[in-house]
Amino acid sequence: MNKILHPFYNIMTSIEVTNLQKTFQTKRKAAGLSGSLRALIKPEYSSVEAVHSLSFKMEAGELLGFIGPNGAGKSTTIKMLTGILHPSSGAAKVLGYIPWIDRQKLAYHIGTVFGQRPQLWYHLPAMDTFMLFGKIYELDDRETKKRIEYLTEAFEIGDLLDVPVRKLSLGQRMRCEVAASLLHRPKLLLLDEPSIGLDVVAKQHIRDAIRRMNQEEGVGVLLTSHDAGDLEALCKRVIIVNHGQIVYEDKVSNLKRNFLTTKLVQVRYALEVSKDFSINGVETLKVGHYGVKLKFDTTKTPVDSVISHLSEAGDIMDITISDPPLEEVISKIYQEANA
Amino acid sequence: MKELKFLIAIWQTNLQSAMEYRAAFLTQVIGMIVNNFIYFAIWIIFFNKFKDVRGWGVNDMYVTFGVLASSFGLVSLLFGNTFTLSDIIAKGRLDYYLSLPRPVLLHTVASRTIASGMGDFLYGFISYCLSGYFTWDGLARFALAALLAATVFGAFLILTQSLAFWFGSMSNFSGLMLNAMLTFGIYPITLFDSYAKLILFTIIPAALMGAVPAEFIRAFTWEVLGQLLLGAIGFLALAIFVFHKGLRRYESGSAIQIEI
């Protein structure tokens, strides 16, 4: 019974959140011994609103990025969606279940990874945790082993399964962590900062495997991250939160189109040039005898006018036109939301 | 049945984890048996001098200390996280157990084995065998009494440690209550007046961990068995209720965790 999806589960919607709110009571204390004594006699508390009236939907099988700075309320939201925390008010349904009421039933259908909270047993090889998870999710041993084989290939962890987890690198461990969370074929994967502290190669490994699980098994992914690279590589849609509220929600392609209007142009000439590169609306970032680096807004200055101006200066040997990093764009959105 | 299968799987994994460091595991088990013998030597010296205290002799102490050690050992061995539950709550480490489809209290407390508990558990049986009260049906009563005393002890730990949901980390208070349980549990019950006895059956149920199980082991009576069963079921139900009441207040945490 537990493993059957909720009868009212709408096949098209994985997550539906309405006016979700979470307020924590935090103890306040002045610095020093006198502050500690005062707090002992008369403690003072203040309310911190970690999530404020949050509403959004996530479709089944969708790859949704949920990003924001530290303290934005991302992890608190994920914890409410998995049933770890009770909200202060508001409603949420995940795969048709109310997470904080149907926590156990829901847990059979979702996988969770908290980048800062390992779930693999530290002193044992990952294989032992995999087998234990098989028992926790009530899979029979043959089914568990078959699934481990598939995940071993998908996450390239064949050589790692028999090594005690304490001896694995962070990247290797995270691959095993994500694989463990997929052992029971969840419909939805909630990843909280899965790439934290990982190097470029390890991040790429994890992203490739998650993308593959999404394509092959239709697993929906809700991903929180500080890394805009995760967002670009994995997500189709993005929700940006700040101070517990949604400040932006759209497709990643629209985010790029609307906010990536600034271009960077770098040119290298065959011969030395002495032309004045100043054009209206174009900022000169760097200028040398053989090249120049410019920045301009495409909504104000057309790209072709900048290119023709640059080509008049001499024979171009090499030219690069690039977008500013997505991180810069997200930071701009945070600043606009704060203003 | 489903939960029993799960418990067996988790105990197996605990044991595998504890045995990863074979030397440390064996040292803790043997060390604890030796430690308990050394501790008990004080009582042997005491009873050599005074013979008996209000009807209690050294043989009664062997049984009382034995059942106390075995029940303590059983909780350490099978439900090791009852000793650190307060810290787990205060540091937000319940997240892991809450994200898996199992009863959260059972999963949390069963997820750690304290290897020295094996030493305590075994020592209790040795102590009973040396008591002079040994019979085969007495041994069966010893096993049942240790199980019921362990239930009371485990439930008491869960109760005191669950206060962390309301007051933050309660590890010092829990430590204090744990020591009170063990200290009062070993004393002859005949030492106490009726008010003190009331406390030892309710607020600090040490009598249900030492004197009452010892009485049941020495001679079977339905009345004493009833006391033990009532105590075990009552305290366990109260512990589960308080834990779940507190769970609604759980605030998680953002501490970075290195291992489990």
Q: Do A118 and B102 touch (CB under 8 A)?
A: no
Q: Do B6 and A164 touch (CB under 8 A)?
A: no
Residue with tokens 């009770």: A86
Cα B116 from chain centroid (whole Å) = 13
- pLDDT value of position A339: 66
Least confident of A3-17, B32-46, B102-116: A3-17
Nearest to B13 among A119, A128, A166 (CB): A128
Share of chain B above pLDDT 90, in %: 69
Residue-range domain boundaries for chain B? 2-259
Closest C-alpha among B144, B108, B113, B149 to residue B240:
B108
**A-chain residues near B94 (CB < 8 A):** 84
Q: Which of residues 10-29 of A touch B (CB under 8 A)?
A: 24
Q: Do A104 and B20 touch (CB under 8 A)?
A: no
In this structure, are residues B71 and B116 in contact, taking their beta carbons and an 8 Å threshold? no
Cα–Cα distance measured from residue A213 to residue A219, given in angstroms and rounded to the nearest whole number: 6
Rounded (5°) CA angle B73-B77-B82: 90
At residue A205, does pLDDT exceed 50? yes
Is the CB of residue B256 less than 8 Å away from at least one CB of chain A? yes
Residue with tokens 């934290």: A196
**pLDDT range class, residue A8, cuts 50, 70, 90:** low
Q: Do B2 and A138 touch (CB under 8 A)?
A: yes
Instruction: State which residue of chain B sits closest to A130, comparing Cα positions.
Output: B13
Least confident of A93-102, B46-55, B59-68, B85-94: B46-55
Residue of A276 and B122 predicted with greater confidence: B122
Interface test with B, best of A47, A84, A112 (most B CBs within 10 A): A84
Cα A184 from chain centroid (whole Å) = 22
DSSP letter assigned to residue A108: T
Question: Minimal Cα–Cα distance from A106 to chain B, Å?
Answer: 8
Instruction: State which residue of chain B sits closest to A108, comparing Cα positions.
Output: B101
Give the pLDDT confidence of B169-197 residue by residue, as tens digits.
788 888 999 999 999 998 887 777 788 88
Instruction: State which residue of chain B sits closest to A111, comparing Cα positions.
Output: B99
- pLDDT value of position B255: 54
Cα–Cα distance measured from residue B67 to residue A280, given in angstroms and rounded to the nearest whole number: 90
Q: Which amino acid, residue B59?
A: N
* Alpha helices (H) along chain A: 32-41, 74-81, 103-107, 126-136, 141-155, 170-181, 200-217, 228-234, 252-259, 303-311, 326-338
Cα–Cα distance measured from residue A34 to residue A38, given in angstroms and rounded to the nearest whole number: 6
Structural element, H or E, at residue B24: helix B22-50
Nearest to A85 among B100, B103, B250 (CB): B250
**pLDDT range class, residue A5, cuts 50, 70, 90:** low
Cα–Cα distance measured from residue B186 to residue A70, given in angstroms and rounded to the nearest whole number: 52
- pLDDT value of position A7: 57
In this structure, are residues A251 and A237 in contact, taking their beta carbons and an 8 Å threshold? yes
In this structure, are residues A240 and A246 in contact, taking their beta carbons and an 8 Å threshold? yes
Is the CB of residue A163 less than 8 Å away from at least one CB of chain B? no
In this structure, are residues A315 and A271 in contact, taking their beta carbons and an 8 Å threshold? yes
At residue B256, does pLDDT exceed 60? no
At residue A1, does pLDDT exceed 80? no
Share of chain A above pLDDT 90, in %: 46
Q: Which amino acid, residue A58?
A: M
Is the CB of residue B4 less than 8 Å away from at least one CB of chain A? no
**pLDDT range class, residue A11, cuts 50, 70, 90:** low
Cα–Cα distance measured from residue A269 to residue A290, given in angstroms and rounded to the nearest whole number: 5
What ipTM was reported for this prediction?
0.84
Closest C-alpha among A250, A253, A177 to residue A209:
A177
**pLDDT range class, residue A287, cuts 50, 70, 90:** confident
**B-chain residues near A164 (CB < 8 A):** 20
Instruction: State which residue of chain A sits closest to B9, comparing Cα positions.
Output: A132
Give the pLDDT confidence of A140-152 residue by residue, as tens digits.
999 999 999 999 9
**CB count in 10 Å sphere of residue A89:** 10
- pLDDT value of position B139: 96
Mean pLDDT of A85-107: 95
**A-chain residues near B260 (CB < 8 A):** 118-122
**pLDDT range class, residue A225, cuts 50, 70, 90:** confident
Mean pLDDT of A17-37: 84
- pLDDT value of position A31: 80
Rounded (5°) CA angle A49-A15-B252: 40
Question: Minimal Cα–Cα distance from B242 to chain A, Å?
Answer: 17
Is the CB of residue B10 less than 8 Å away from at least one CB of chain A? yes
**pLDDT range class, residue B258, cuts 50, 70, 90:** very low
Is the CB of residue A169 less than 8 Å away from at least one CB of chain B? no
Residue with tokens 């960077």: A264
At residue B259, does pLDDT exceed 50? no
Is the CB of residue A108 less than 8 Å away from at least one CB of chain B? yes
- pLDDT value of position A239: 92
Residue with tokens 């997240």: B95
Question: Minimal Cα–Cα distance from B51 to chain A, Å?
Answer: 50
**pLDDT range class, residue A300, cuts 50, 70, 90:** confident
Nearest to A75 among B6, B98, B254 (CB): B254
Cα–Cα distance measured from residue A184 to residue A108, given in angstroms and rounded to the nearest whole number: 7
Least confident of A55-69, A139-153, A246-260, B231-245: A246-260
Nearest to A136 among B6, B98, B258 (CB): B6
**B-chain residues near A76 (CB < 8 A):** 252
Q: What is the DSSP string of A6-75?
A: PTT--TTEEEEEEEEEEEEEEEE--SHHHHHHHHHHS-EEEEEEEEEEEEEEEETT-EEEEE-STTSSHH
In this structure, are residues B25 and B18 in contact, taking their beta carbons and an 8 Å threshold? yes
Cα–Cα distance measured from residue A305 to residue A301, given in angstroms and rounded to the nearest whole number: 7
Q: Show Cβ contacts of residue B69 under 8 Å, excluding neighbours closer than 6 positions.
A: B36, B120, B121, B123, B124, B127
Q: What SS3 state is found at B82?
A: helix
> Across all residues in chain A, what is the average pLDDT?
87
Q: Do B251 and A123 touch (CB under 8 A)?
A: no
Closest C-alpha among A5, A11, A62, A327 to residue A190:
A62
**B-chain residues near A79 (CB < 8 A):** 95, 252
Residue of A280 and B98 predicted with greater confidence: B98
Mean pLDDT of B194-201: 86
* Torsion angles phi and psi, residue B121, rounded to 5: -60, -50
Structural element, H or E, at residue A190: strand A188-192
At residue A229, does pLDDT exceed 90? no
At residue A3, does pLDDT exceed 70? no
Residue with tokens 């962890």: A157
Mean pLDDT of A53-64: 94
